[in-house]
Amino acid sequence: MTLKKDSRFHRPTPFEERVYAVVRRIPKSQTRSYQWVATQLGDPSRARAVGNALNRNPYAPQVPCHRVIRLDGSLGGFSKGAEVKRRLLDAERREARSRKRNRIGLSANQKLQARIISTRGMKTTKLG
């Protein structure tokens, strides 16, 4: 995949490029810690360096740095602010749940069962 770089930013170092390659593989709606990224690069002690590299990410949004959080589960830093990071993560999670509910390729029997389950508890009226 060819990444489009915003030319207003510095040229990434080889370490930063490796960070971006790892982060690009984090699945949508999932998060990983800065330490996890550093471990993938072979040195878990470089979590702070990972954070610094993501702070200078010239490839956003192709490199989704908002998916990297602190080891304790808190959001950590984000160039556009923590609230924007939270909104991006929430939007991805909602989209993933929606996709899961609307799976394509269900058999006719599975669709019927889903319809029956979704109508349980609804009041019905007999006609005629």
65 part of the active site: yes
- Cα–Cα distance measured from residue 23 to residue 26, given in angstroms and rounded to the nearest whole number: 5
Catalytic residue from among 63, 65, 69, 89: 65
Greatest alpha-carbon pair distance for the chain in Å reads: 76
Residue 33's DSSP bridge partners are 69
Q: Is 19 helix (H, G, I), strand (E, B) or coil?
A: helix
Cis peptide before 61 (omega within 30 of 0): yes
59 Cβ contact partners less than 8 Å away, ≥ 6 residues apart = 3, 4, 5, 6, 20, 24
Between CA 67 and CA 59 the distance in angstroms is 14
Catalytic residues: 65
